Chains A and B, each alone.
Chain A
Amino acid sequence: EAGVAQSPRYKIIEKRQSVAFWCNPISGHATLYWYQQILGQGPKLLIQFQNNGVVDDSQLPKDRFSAERLKGVDSTLKIQPAKLEDSAVYLCASSLARDYPYEQYFGPGTRLTVT
């Protein structure tokens, strides 16, 4: 089966510009996660969707980050305006359900560089 797809793979923008990332989860996966991975650190959860509803967005900087998952399938993550500290890899993951044994499958990530 096809894995989690993400685009673009790389993006370079200047600070104060806006950017959007797209994620297409594995077909049938109800749960979708966006993680931020800063260089040298482990991923940190930004937001989690169950179908098209938000389950956890406690670590999402809501003054500049937004995310949506229309129709409970694809999702977009937006940053507006970007700051230098937003430079990171943004990973999307999906799972059939929230708990193990339904493991999370990760996409290849989008590497964002803010100059």
Chain B
Amino acid sequence: AQKITQTQPGMFVQEKEAVTLDCTYDTSDQSYGLFWYKQPSSGEMIFLIYQGSYDEQNATEGRYSLNFQKARKSANLVISASQLGDSAMYFCAMRPPSNTGKLIFGQGTTLQVKP
């Protein structure tokens, strides 16, 4: 069965510094997608970044990058130059190869950016 594990319930980072949020996944499938979402206190889930299992290069989107290590089954999110507005809950999610588009989410990591 597919599973996403986020082992950091809470993280602190100083403003303007970089931070890494950990995510490991468990699947026996060869084809899958990995996502990161941000959930501010308002409640909406905001898509940040995507990595396909066959993508050779790590995905990047602005200040977000995904450190994809397939052999270790990890997909860590790196946020560079943290801003106060980055304070939120962050979820790692996996889309298995079924064609439904369903996402399986981890437990989330709360990030607090200190001024």
Q: Report the Cα distance A96→B30, complex, angstroms.
A: 25
B interface residues, how many (CB within 8 angstroms) = 25
CB neighbours of A97 from chain B (8 A):
101
Contact of B43 among A40, A41, A105, A108 (CB under 8 A): A108
List the interface of chain B (C-beta within 8 A of A): 4, 33, 35, 37, 42-47, 50, 52, 91, 93, 95, 99-108
Whether B107 and A55, one on each chain, are in contact in the complex, defined by CB atoms closer than 8 angstroms, is: no
Q: Name 16 A/B residue pairs within 8 A (Cβ), A-sorted.
A: A33-B102, A42-B93, A42-B105, A42-B106, A42-B108, A43-B103, A45-B102, A55-B100, A56-B100, A91-B45, A95-B101, A98-B100, A99-B99, A100-B50, A100-B95, A109-B43
Residues B47 and A109 in contact, CB atoms below 8 Å apart: no
Contact A89 to B43, CB < 8 A, known contacts A42-B4, A42-B107, A100-B33: yes
- Which of A3, A100, A102 lies at the interface centre, i.e. has the most chain B CB atoms within 10 A of its CB? A100
Q: Is A104 within 8 A of B43, CB to CB?
A: no
- Which residues of A line the B interface, CB within 8 A? 3, 31, 33, 40-45, 48, 55-56, 89, 91, 93, 95, 97-109, 111
A102 / chain B contacts, CB cutoff of 8 Å:
101
Measured in the bound complex, the distance between the Cα atoms of B19 and A109 in whole Å is 28
How near does chain A come to B73, taking the closest CB pair, in angstroms?
17
* A contact residues around B104 at 8 Å (CB): 45
Q: In the complex, what distance in Å separates the CA atom of A33 from the CA atom of B95? A: 14
CA of A55 to CA of B98, assembled, Å: 11
Within the complex, the shortest CB–CB distance from A56 to chain B, in Å, comes to: 5
CB-based contact A106/B44 at 8 Å:
yes
A55 neighbours in B (Cβ, 8 Å): 100
In the complex, which residues of chain B have a beta carbon less than 8 angstroms from the beta carbon of A44? 105
